[in-house]
């Protein structure tokens, strides 16, 4: 019989060591051929645009991608998710300039860095929390993909319904030499499918903000979006 493991209750003491290891170890995982094909299919569209680029990573059904495109009408928004099932449930908006891409961000982020893309903003809204302590390396900030996420740059916004995720995210940013601010969100109009669900359940919501392009003395406190 499987023993129940409760969610992690406090920040892991070895988080900084895990992050430091990823920062100093080259990531060997090969990029899948299908990820390159998917990237090449939208590359021209992104590179032909003179608008600032906003990336909405792990966008799920893409409600946030549509909402971001409405909120930033002079930007090009790119929603990325690996789930064909979720992307198929996307409801396209009438306004705003945006593109949806099916890809694993473990590959997409590296391809975008290699292509020299410099997003103005990067959103990571309600990533899977992997709440058991033993699952920490699956969380983005403790995964080998974290240094690539940092290299991609831009104003980073992460949202989560788990305060510990926000707290550990900031700790990981600090370990890598970046400032990070976290705040409790008061939201009237949810912008993603999961945000809607969490608000209906009465969950507390948190955001992490970091300016990945700034000099380390400046703190980015986020915007409404």
Pick between residue 105 and residue 136 the one whose CB is nearest to ligand SAM. Answer: 105
State yes or no: residue 194 binds ligand SAM (CB under 6 A).
yes
> Could you tell me which of 213, 33, 11, 221 has the C-alpha nearest to residue 117?
213
| Distance from C-alpha of 163 to C-alpha of 207, rounded to nearest angstrom | 9
Of the listed pieces 31-39, 41-49, 172-180, 191-199, which binds ligand SAM according to CB under 6 A?
Answer: 191-199
Length of the chain: 225
Least Cβ distance, residue 59 to ligand SAM (angstroms):
5
Pick between residue 8 and residue 64 the one whose CB is nearest to ligand SAM. Answer: 64
* Backbone φ and ψ of 183, nearest 5°: -145, 155
Instruction: Give the one residue of 46, 55, 59, 78 binding ligand SAM; rule: CB under 6 A.
Output: 59
Least Cβ distance, residue 216 to ligand SAM (angstroms):
28
State yes or no: residue 60 binds ligand SAM (CB under 6 A).
yes
Strands 121-125 and 97-102: unpaired
Which residue is it, tokens 């966008």? Answer: 59
Which residue is it, tokens 């999961």? Answer: 194
Torsion angle of C-alpha atoms 21, 23, 27, 33, degrees rounded to 10: 140
State yes or no: residue 126 binds ligand SAM (CB under 6 A).
yes
Pick between residue 147 and residue 179 the one whose CB is nearest to ligand SAM. Answer: 147
Binding site for ligand SAM (CB under 6 A): 58-60, 64, 81-83, 86, 104-106, 125-128, 192-195
């Amino acid at each position: 019989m499987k023993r129940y493991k409760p969610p992690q209750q406090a920040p892991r003491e070895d988080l900084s060591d895990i992050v430091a290891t990823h920062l100093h170890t080259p990531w060997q995982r090969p990029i899948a051929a299908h990820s390159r094909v998917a990237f090449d299919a939208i590359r021209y569209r992104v590179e032909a645009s003179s608008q600032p680029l906003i990336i909405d990573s792990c966008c799920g059904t893409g409600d946030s991608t549509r909402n971001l495109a409405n909120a930033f009408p002079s930007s090009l928004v790119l929603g990325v998710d690996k789930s064909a099932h979720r992307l198929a449930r996307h409801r396209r908006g009438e306004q705003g300039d945006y593109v949806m891409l099916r890809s694993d961000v473990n590959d997409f982020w590296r391809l975008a860095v290699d292509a020299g893309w410099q997003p103005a903003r990067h959103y990571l809204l309600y990533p899977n929390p992997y709440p058991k302590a033993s699952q920490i390396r699956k969380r983005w900030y403790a995964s080998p993909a974290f240094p690539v996420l940092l290299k991609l740059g831009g104003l980073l916004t992460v949202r989560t319904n788990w305060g510990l995720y926000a707290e550990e995210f900031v700790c990981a940013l600090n370990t890598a030499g970046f400032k990070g601010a976290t705040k409790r969100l008061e939201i009237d109009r949810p912008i993603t499918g999961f945000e809607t669900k969490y608000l209906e359940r009465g969950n507390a919501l948190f955001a992490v903000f970091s300016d990945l392009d700034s000099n380390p003395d400046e703190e980015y406190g986020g915007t409404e979006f």
